[in-house]
Structure 1
Amino acid sequence: MSQPLVQFRNVQKSYDGENLVVKDLNLNVAQGEFLTLLGPSGSGKTTSLLMLAGFETATSGEILLDGKPITHIAPEKRNIGMVFQNYALFPHMTVAENVAFPLKVRRVATRDITDRVRQALDKVGLAGFESRRPAQMSGGQQQRVAVARALVFEPKLVLMDEPLSALDKQLREQLQYEIKRLHRDLGLTVVYVTHDQTEALAMSDRVAVFHQGVIQQIDDPIALYEQPRNAFVAQFIGENNAFDGQIDTVNGELCQVRLPDGSLIPAHRVVERGSGERTRLSLRPERVVIEPEAGAVDIRVPARVVDVTYLGKYARVRLRACGLEHFVVAVPNDGRTKALAPTSLINIGWRAHDCRALNAE
């Protein structure tokens, strides 16, 4: 197995000497991987990125790049490209001058700079924009310039800190695709920070979910969504029905969970919990079936419709069920939802393996 390009070894970070923003971080990033650090504000994801970039220093532990410690190496000597949320372009410089800046700092021969700048701008679709200034460009165009500047010196690693958060939805989705194309076509290694779950799932080879300075789970997008390992990940990634109960019986990977109203729910036992222990059940809205046919589900429960919201391709149906006032079901918008009038009583159901018994916290 080849050596990871990036290694965090027992890295910790504290700004005040008492409270750890990053706690005992151990993380490897493979050559050519697109890894996203995802989490809420204050979870430690951006601090981890800044330590890798060299703009923050680890309180303890070690960070290696290509097998070599980089703790005492200045940011500009780490051969890392950086793309910021606010573009960080020089307003008094032209596009060509902005993109050329890293090459001039590295004392690249002047005869080579023009060709490399042209090639970098061509990669991001900005050929012919060399003489413009940032103020003459849209936000999306400015971010493309920032990406070109990060790529122009052919770095080993590219770091991106919330690069698309200031853009509107359509442009953000377009640039997501273009960044992934560059990652694929150029064989880049990318470490990307975002708080946007959809963006993380759409772009990444793997996603590391941060909470309170600790990686809660690191997995590919499908496993992260379909197989969350704890209650925080289940709640943070996508929409989720979460309800608490107590494990009644255990049968291998399955268990029966007794809810506060006394009903029993079959579930897939993700964490080691025995009879009598508390658990939190996680059930995705799209896994719930309204008026299921016999044999299609493992459990049927009654529910009362609260309201129906039409969202184009699907409808979001809010119910009272399983002791929850806000039990959500995602239903394909095929016309059948018109019969779901508020206050009507219906049956819902799901398969046991789609309901995951997680930690109780």
Structure 2
Amino acid sequence: MTSQTLAKAPSFSFRSMFMRDAEPGLKTSGNEESLSPDAPAADSDTLVSFRQVQKSYDGDSLVVKNLNLEIRRGEFLTMLGPSGSGKTTSLMMLAGFEVPTSGEIRLDGKLLNNVPPHKRNIGMVFQNYALFPHLTIFENVAFPLKVRNEGFREIRYQVDKALEMVQLDKFAQRYPAQLSGGQQQRVALARALVFKPQLVLMDEPLGALDKQLREHMQMEIKHIHQQLGVTVVYVTHDQSEALTMSDRVAVFNNGIIQQIDKPEVLYERPANSFVANFIGENNRLTGKLLSRDGEQCVVEMPYGEKVIASAINVGEIGDPVSLSIRPERVVLNDAALSVQNRFNGQIREFIYLGDHVRIRMEVCGTHDFIIKMPTSQFDSRLREGDVVPLGWAAEYAHALDPV
């Protein structure tokens, strides 16, 4: 086949490249299978569902406990949590590399429990890239199409478009060892997308990259997702990565989803102390519930200070309470006069971090209370040892379960 023939291939957008219907004259992947009789209608908003899924490796302790989760078509959902929380095991069960001990996993209504990985029409991107070192970049990306017995013209067409999408079309004849880590990760992403999967799974794909490159790749992946509209399930232990990229985040701990919501909701209104402490930076104060009036409560600190807070997850009067206050929500000096919670605190330390200054203070019985202030707003007259007024609004103090 000549280059002139290839040049006549029809042009179309990246989004149409990954739609289920191929261009006229191009062969489809042939992966479509009929749905089971109890499958939802084709226009259902849910693509993936976990129903009471549990996983145990030793027949006793559960790594994943009664997982119920629905993943919407076209969304970017991140499974976030510490090591051993069950997030990666959940992803591996969806991919087919692990089998649920009990429960059901469905993709587009089709029961997956006994479907082998290569028949699930799912793309995978791993942390270690998993590229074939003896194959060129073109051949690596073409591999999923070759195993699906696509023709040469289709392979050439789709691979060229996939490499153009990740801005590596000029590197098609190089080998993985000749590329940087970030470029290799782009190749892995192109390979996961080239066969038009319904779903793409990513397991800590940026963990091996340095900070600057990792942040750059976060935006690259986010933009590709927005461009294509493909459904992505992403696993990470990096909370800033999850907040940056996701439509929704499922926070895992001890095999259970603690909270699932939009990033801004997780950050601004955590459901419990684990989420508050795991998502972003957090000041944690401990006291006891003194009173409650609807959605507000009063918490008494160990030295008698009283904090007005939002009652999110509290028990009975007299029960212990953990207060969560974000460092950027705390104000100093004159600004503290207009908020409900006002105290005096002693400055212990300044930490300059370029765009902002962290001020470590002693207040309400703790020596590690942090205030985060933009450098442009920092009062250079402040000194370590100064006692200054500080405070925060009641809506920014979240009364939660004790830690």
- Identify the TM-score tier after normalising by the shorter chain: over 0.9
Number of residue pairs matched by the alignment: 361
Equivalent in the alignment of 1:72:
114
Q: 1:81 aligns with which of 101, 123, 134?
A: 123
Equivalent in the alignment of 2:384:
342
Q: 1:127 to 1:212 in 2, by over 3 A?
A: same
Equivalent in the alignment of 1:46:
88
How far is the alpha carbon of 1:243 from its aligned partner? 1.1
Cα distance per residue 1:217-241 (max 9 Å; x no partner): 0000110100001000000001101
Equivalent in the alignment of 2:198:
156
Inter-partner Cα distance in structure 1 for 2:257 and 2:335: 40
Inter-partner Cα distance in structure 1 for 2:335 and 2:179: 56
Structure 1 contact 250–274 (Cα < 8 Å) conserved: no
Structure 1 contact 121–148 (Cα < 8 Å) conserved: yes
Equivalent in the alignment of 1:24:
66
Greater shift, 27-36 or 269-278, is seen at 269-278
Equivalent in the alignment of 1:236:
278
Equivalent in the alignment of 1:212:
254
Equivalent in the alignment of 1:277:
319
How far is the alpha carbon of 1:334 from its aligned partner? 2.3
Equivalent in the alignment of 1:264:
306
Inter-partner Cα distance in structure 2 for 1:260 and 1:128: 65
TM-score (norm 1): 0.98
2:397 corresponds to 1:355: yes
Structure 2 contact 336–391 (Cα < 8 Å) conserved: no
1:1-361 counterparts in 2 under 5 A?
2-293=44-335, 295-334=337-376, 336-361=378-403
Q: 1:57 to 1:260 in 2, by over 3 A?
A: same
How far is the alpha carbon of 1:3 from its aligned partner? 4.0
Cα distance per residue 1:124-154 (max 9 Å; x no partner): 1101211111001100010000000000100
Inter-partner Cα distance in structure 2 for 1:340 and 1:359: 35
Structure 2 contact 85–253 (Cα < 8 Å) conserved: yes
Inter-partner Cα distance in structure 2 for 1:97 and 1:106: 14
How far is the alpha carbon of 1:314 from its aligned partner? 1.1
Structure 1 contact 315–337 (Cα < 8 Å) conserved: no
User: What code does the residue aligned with 2:156 have?
Assistant: T
Inter-partner Cα distance in structure 1 for 2:127 and 2:379: 41
How far is the alpha carbon of 1:292 from its aligned partner? 3.5
How far is the alpha carbon of 1:360 from its aligned partner? 1.1
How far is the alpha carbon of 1:272 from its aligned partner? 4.3
How far is the alpha carbon of 1:273 from its aligned partner? 2.4
How far is the alpha carbon of 1:295 from its aligned partner? 4.9
User: What code does the residue aligned with 1:307 have?
Assistant: E
RMSD: 1.2
User: What code does the residue aligned with 2:203 have?
Assistant: D
User: What code does the residue aligned with 2:162 have?
Assistant: A
Cα distance per residue 1:184-211 (max 9 Å; x no partner): 1111100001111111001000000000
* Structure 1 residue runs of 4 or more that deviate by more than 3 Å after TM superposition: 292-295
How far is the alpha carbon of 1:172 from its aligned partner? 1.3
Inter-partner Cα distance in structure 2 for 1:55 and 1:134: 25
Inter-partner Cα distance in structure 1 for 2:152 and 2:169: 19
Decide which structure has the larger Cα Rg and report it.
2
Structure 1 contact 3–67 (Cα < 8 Å) conserved: no
TM-score (norm 2): 0.88
The residue matched to 1:57 in structure 2 has which SS? coil
User: What code does the residue aligned with 1:237 have?
Assistant: I
